[in-house]
Amino acid sequence: MEEVKITVDGKELTVAKGTLLIDACEANGIYIPRFCYHKHLTKSGNCRMCLVKIEKTPKPQPSCMTPVADGMIVHTRTPEIDAMRKAMLEFVLINHPLDCPICDKAGECMLQDQYMEFSGDKSRFNETKVAKEKLYHFSDRILYDAERCITCSRCVRFTSEVSKTNKLGLVLRGDSSYVSLAPGDTFDDPYSDCVTDICPVGALTSKQFRFKERVWNLHKTPSICAGCSRGCNISIETKDNQVYRVRPIENEHVNKSWMCNFGRDYYVHPTAERLTSQRSKKNDLDYNTFIKEVTPIFKENGAKMAFIVSSHATNEELALAKQLADVIGVKDIFTKSDREWKEDSGEVKEDDILITADKTPNLAGVKKTFTKAKDISTLTVSPFTHAFVWGVNASVKDLTKLKLIVLSTERDVVSDKADYLIAGQTPAEKHGSFTNIDGLVQPFRRAIRGEQNTSDLQFFVDVLKTLGETPLGRTVDEVRAAL
């Protein structure tokens, strides 16, 4: 790629031709304030917060609209530019309400941050502020506060370029301008919650998270969304072991800066009835007894066992499960999809943005680990006496007639009939990695602790150890290193 040399604040930078000045600066550690610029949207250049001085141009230039040119000499912190930034902030704040105490954006608000960093001036505005609609219900997920809006048009560009629903538009001019839906319309968009992330201020907020917690109290764990096989990079935001919200993390190769609404709800409103302990058919067992009783069943019936693998499992667990299957001589391994799209759920089946038809995170990983595995639809129970069922949604005729060992997270028909049942972990509760639909392996960390005190990985480790084998590894990191 062709490269050009530019000078920013006396620093000589070499950047690819065609890069925007704001990107070039940011990549080299010089932050230029901005409101309307967003990396994954077209640039509109309307907020004028990113003005910089470029030598040999008569006036300051918006760096988000200016591609670099060879020999460009740029100044980002001259007194003139600083004064301009202050003036821009004062202009934005003229009609901005004093809502920070009740604004869900406070703490991650670009207007707050940039005011603290670049202005700090007292208000000189003695006139009455323009009053606008403060509770505009865009949909049952999104609330719009027109007074807080700084009309940067990010949300409008999002609906026209990314989600392509074209639901939002800016109407009127000047200080009366606000974002609006078409009359009578609602903001039904499977990606609508993304506008609450990209809105630089608290004008668009999520109803689901409304007033739940101040953002600085949330603990953010980077993770991978388990809602479908796209594997969007997400940040699970928790406090006291409870998930408050889920937001996307930028990943150029997978989800850019976006994720779908379903993925957000997937963690915040878990619906299923969770299992929490282990039991045999008759009574509750403690963990060690359970392992001691289950291991001989694995050992003696390996050849007559249907081994059904979960697509919610991590690659590390799969590696240990494969080791176990090899050791006990399992002949037939079946893959299943733990969650399938349902017609009446209102969930989008598939689109060409992010959502994929495979609604589980790691089917690709299962297929890669168990290359000879068959699909569960080909499973008939007659050749088997036993079955190891991992995960939910094992819908096979007469499966419950076999002797069942079940490792699952929630109650269903199969786990109710299990001869041995142990509670599993949901993706938010474990460390590991998923392989997404494009074959990209993405690691993630645990965000919350489940009620059960066992881990899926530990289950396989302990069974292998009781069989007298050396497991590939005892922890996620050891298994990963062994792979």
Partner 1 sequence: MSQQIPGLPDMTYIDREKRTFLDQIYFWEITRGILITTKHFFRNMAKWLTFRKGGVVILYPEEMRPDYSQNNRGRHILVQRSDGSPRCVACKMCATNCPAECITIVAEESDDSNIQKRPKVFEIDVSRCIFCGFCVEACPVDAIRMAPTTEELAGYNRFRMIYDKKTLMTWKPTVNDDVVHGYNP
Is residue 41 within the footprint of ligand SF4 (CB under 6 A)?
Answer: no
Find the shortest distance in angstroms from Cβ 62 to ligand FES: 4
Is residue 50 within the footprint of ligand FES (CB under 6 A)?
Answer: yes
Q: Which is nearer to ligand FES, 36 or 330 (CB)?
A: 36
Find the shortest distance in angstroms from Cβ 112 to ligand SF4: 5
Is residue 45 within the footprint of ligand FES (CB under 6 A)?
Answer: yes
Find the shortest distance in angstroms from Cβ 200 to ligand SF4: 6
Joined tokens for residue 260: 């779908």
Q: Is 110 exposed, middle or buried (0-12, 13-18, 19+ CB in 10 A)?
A: middle
Is residue 155 within the footprint of ligand SF4 (CB under 6 A)?
Answer: yes
**Which listed range, 75-83, 153-161, 181-189, 400-408, lies at the site for ligand SF4 (CB under 6 A)?**
153-161
**Which listed range, 196-204, 234-242, 412-420, 421-429, lies at the site for ligand SF4 (CB under 6 A)?**
196-204
End-to-end CA distance of the chain: 36
Is residue 162 within the footprint of ligand SF4 (CB under 6 A)?
Answer: no
Is residue 118 within the footprint of ligand FES (CB under 6 A)?
Answer: no
Distance CA 278, CA 464 (A): 18
Q: Which 64-93 residues touch ligand FES, going by CB under 6 A?
A: 64
Find the shortest distance in angstroms from Cβ 204 to ligand SF4: 5
Within 10 angstroms of residue 128's Cβ, the number of other Cβ atoms is: 7
Joined tokens for residue 313: 């499992």
Query: Is the CB of residue 288 less than 8 Å from the CB of residue 463?
Result: no
Query: H or E segment at 21?
Result: helix 21-27
Distance CA 38, CA 177 (A): 21
**Site residues, partner 1 (CB under 8 A):** 100-102, 106, 134-135, 210-212, 214, 216-217
Q: Which 94-123 residues touch ligand SF4, going by CB under 6 A?
A: 96, 99-101, 103, 105-106, 109, 111-112
Q: Which is nearer to ligand FES, 200 or 427 (CB)?
A: 200
Q: Per-residue contact track with ligand SF4, 124 to 143, x per CB under 6 A?
A: --------------------
For 125-156, the DSSP string reads --SPPPP--S-EE-SSSEEE-TTT-----HHH
List the beta bridge partners of residue 234.
223, 248
For 160-213, the DSSP string reads IIIS-----EEES-GGG-EEEPPTT-----TTTTHHHHH-SSTTEEETTTTTT-
Q: Which is nearer to ligand SF4, 200 or 302 (CB)?
A: 200
Distance CA 227, CA 337 (A): 12
Number of residues that bind ligand SF4 (CB under 6 A): 25
Q: Contact positions toward ligand FES, by CB under 6 A?
A: 34-37, 45-50, 62, 64
Q: Contact positions toward ligand SF4, by CB under 6 A?
A: 96, 99-101, 103, 105-106, 109, 111-112, 148-155, 179, 199-204
